[in-house]
Structure 1
Amino acid sequence: MKRVRCPKCDNYVTFDETKYETGQSLVFECPQCGKQFSIRIGVSKLRALQKEENVDENLKDNNVGALIVIENVFHYKQVIPLKLGDNVIGRYMKGSKVNTPIETNDPSIDTTHCVINVSYDKRNRLKYILRDGPSNTGTFVHNEILGDRERRVIEDGTLFTIGATSIILKGAEEKEQ
């Protein structure tokens, strides 16, 4: 099953893509707002990294890591690339200033929930520092809640939770020196 987002209200419409051929155009009517819109099968404006599930293959172009958002009742699995500097993480909302959005209907994720700062340490290795936004529901690392603006160094494989959503940090491969 595939899903497309209504351009007017951001509601998702789900359909069975196996019934259609690549290049075929489909017209949908959003059940929530009534907006009619069309898509072409096989053509996506969504960032390739965010829709692909092969994490290791996707990280070849991305040298600082990614977030793996675990699928739950609110959203599908997502792989979101990180960049050097502050990665402001929050719920996707049209017009939001979040630079690392999670596409979700999870109401317990704030639009600016937490931040991961990616930088290099003195040994020229990548360092990931997670801090809470502050957020309404908190940011948890290994089931421990971070205080408002508290910082925690995290590493490859760290599991953290924002709202009802669990995320795994996939660090970049260290380069041989």
Structure 2
Amino acid sequence: MKRVRCPKCDNFITFDETKYQPGQSLVFECPECNKQFGIRIGVSKLRNTQKEEKIDEQSNENGYGSIVVIENVFHYKQVIPLQIGDNIIGRYMKNSGINCPIETNDPSIDMNHCIINVSRDKKGRLKYVLRDGPSYTGTFVDNEILGDRERRVIEDGSLFTIGATSIILREADKD
């Protein structure tokens, strides 16, 4: 099974690619927004379904660590790489401008829910500081809500919660 994303509303449509030949053109109509769009098998924006995706929790495209979004009823497991500076975490919406979007249906996650700042300390080690967005439902670290303007240093394996979603920090590989 493969899935393709609607170019208008970003809804995923799943289909069985084994019924079609490479190079064959398909036309879809999005059940959410009724947008019609076409793809070509073997050429286009096809993506594995979430169950088939191979997710490496230690993946580290740029060397600054990542966050692992734990699968629940609202979304599938996701690994999102971090960058140096502010990493704004929130619900994915097309053209929102956040740099760590979570693809979710969780209504309790704000568009700009929380921020992880990645920097280097005086010894050159990476430092991760979490703060709330501010958000409507808050950001929790070890079952304690972060206060207004409160910053919390988190480390590899730290678990924090936004809305109904739990996230684990994975630091960059240590040399």
So what's the TM-score if we normalise by structure 2? 0.85
1:157 and 1:18 map into 2 onto residues whose CA distance is 40
In the alignment, does 2:44 pair up with 1:38? no
Q: How many angstroms does 1:97 deviate by? A: 2.1
- Residue 69 of structure 2 is matched in structure 1 by 69
- Provide the secondary structure at the position in 1 that maps to 2:80: strand
Identity within the alignment, %: 72
- Residue 159 of structure 2 is matched in structure 1 by 159
- Residue 10 of structure 1 is matched in structure 2 by 10
- Provide the secondary structure at the position in 2 that maps to 1:73: coil
Specify the code of the residue in structure 1 equivalent to 2:55.
Answer: E
- Residue 143 of structure 1 is matched in structure 2 by 143
Could you tell me whether the CA contact under 8 Å between 1:4 and 1:14 is conserved in 2?
A: yes
Q: How many angstroms does 1:12 deviate by? A: 2.5
- Residue 97 of structure 1 is matched in structure 2 by 97
Structure 1 residue runs of 4+, over 3 Å off? 16-26, 39-46
Q: How many angstroms does 1:111 deviate by? A: 0.4
Q: 1:44 to 1:145 in 2, by over 3 A?
A: same
Give CA-to-partner distance per residue, 1:73-95, whole Å, 9 cap, x none: 21111111100000011111122
Give CA-to-partner distance per residue, 1:18-64, whole Å, 9 cap, x none: 55566654332111211112334555488xxxx650233x32x3211
Q: How many angstroms does 1:149 deviate by? A: 2.5
Specify the code of the residue in structure 2 equivalent to 1:28.
Answer: F
- Residue 79 of structure 1 is matched in structure 2 by 79
- Provide the secondary structure at the position in 2 that maps to 1:87: strand
Q: How many angstroms does 1:104 deviate by? A: 1.2
Specify the code of the residue in structure 2 equivalent to 1:87.
Answer: N
1:24 and 1:71 map into 2 onto residues whose CA distance is 34
Could you tell me whether the CA contact under 8 Å between 2:2 and 2:46 is conserved in 1?
A: no
Match of 2:55 among 49, 53, 56: 53
In the alignment, does 2:28 pair up with 1:28? yes
- Segments of 5+ residues of structure 2 without an aligned counterpart are 48-52
- Segments of 5+ residues of structure 1 without an aligned counterpart are none
1:166 and 1:20 map into 2 onto residues whose CA distance is 38
Give CA-to-partner distance per residue, 1:117-170, whole Å, 9 cap, x none: 000111111000000011001111111111122110001111111111111111
Greater helix share, structure number: 1
Aligned CA-pair RMSD? 2.2
1:41 and 1:169 map into 2 onto residues whose CA distance is 36
- Provide the secondary structure at the position in 2 that maps to 1:68: strand
